[in-house]
Structure 1
Amino acid sequence: MLGNGSNLLVSDHPIDIPVVCTKSCRGFQVIGDRCYVETGCLMPRIVNTLGRANLGGLEYFASIPGTLGGAIYMNAGRGEQFNLSISQAVVYVDVFDMLKKAELRLSAEQCVFGYRKSIFHEHPEWVVLGAMLQFTPSPHAIVRQRIQQRLSVSQRYQDLRFPNAGTTFCRVDEPHGMRRFMGIQIGGAAYSSVTPNWVINLGGASFDDVTKLLEISPQNAQLEWSVWT
């Protein structure tokens, strides 16, 4: 299953498996201060559209180019120190079980959300169809202000000059984290010299360039995105 591919590194070699893209599944329905969102809807679109309906709470997703399905799968959000993630807005998630050929509805508790993980990591046969999200009533002007603040922070501190997959490792248990790797380059791939813990494509980076770069990492570091080989 493929959403927007925001947190995905795909091999340069042919992949002999079916790939289903969910980007056409992008409908949503506002019900009071809740909204049912289909799996392929982009998070910035959700934030901006709900803002115009005077609903907020997920403004920090304005700078994250992923889909709802991907956000739920990895419990996306801001860094661990901010304690902000999509799970805090989830009421329930609708799932299709490909083995049983049946639909399931899981409560937020049943999704077993953790930092950058969920129960869906343990069930590759489950496909996220959509979710009911809870929003906070807030004037559009306030929501728009928060969105602009988030975008300003992103533009100031994140290396947006080159294609990237955002944060590379979700946990780095070292005093200096990823800063000592900044600027290291292999082929067309490099650790950003601007934003710690970001791998960027300087131009023509191959799958092998990136995977070799990932091997230069702190011990026990956990990838925040997936690698398809």
Structure 2
Amino acid sequence: MQDDPDLEAAYALQTPDDNRRLYADWAATYDDEFAVDMDYMLPLHVAEAFASVGGQGPVLDLGAGTGLLGAALKTCGIGPVDATDLSQEMLDVAGTKGLYAHLFTGNLLETLPVEDGAYAGAASSGTFTHGHVGPEALDEVLRVVRPGGVVALSINAEHWEAKGYDARLAELGPRIADLAVREVRIFGPEASGPHARDLSRVVTFTRA
């Protein structure tokens, strides 16, 4: 893993401890040195997808980071929103923005400190990607959403192929309804560098 926090380092993460270390170092500069410089559009794509299929609060922002998806959900009139992330330092930044009703650390690959069906919806931007979580985390997403609740997730397009999301979503078939997938650009026209044209799939479904 690289010493400096950047997208290459994030994609190279191997363990939750690696993740915590990188984002602890990146939290203070993430919004300016990554989100602004790379014209990061993915949170807005996810929020708009969530709203377009009737998503409503209370919502859990999974892998909330510094709150970029929370801000996009607010722009779309969605709330209240809670936030969870592996990195306390990233949540500390998110907490200064007045976007979330409640913030707490949590690991999607384990059991979140949330009751079954606690939320009417869940949304996630930038968490289902290289070096982070794979399709095995979908079970925990479904656990925290009540029947009839809406889910909107971004899943990095290369990560989708590498980790077999098509097969996993097919296995979840009886537990989800109204599955829709569309491909979007992660970054806007101001982005530059080797990842400027990276793609994500934005998935929406309802918990059956």
Q: TM-score range by the shorter chain?
A: under 0.3
**Superposition TM-score, scaled by structure 1 size:** 0.26
Normalized per residue, which structure has more helix? 2
**Superposition TM-score, scaled by structure 2 size:** 0.28
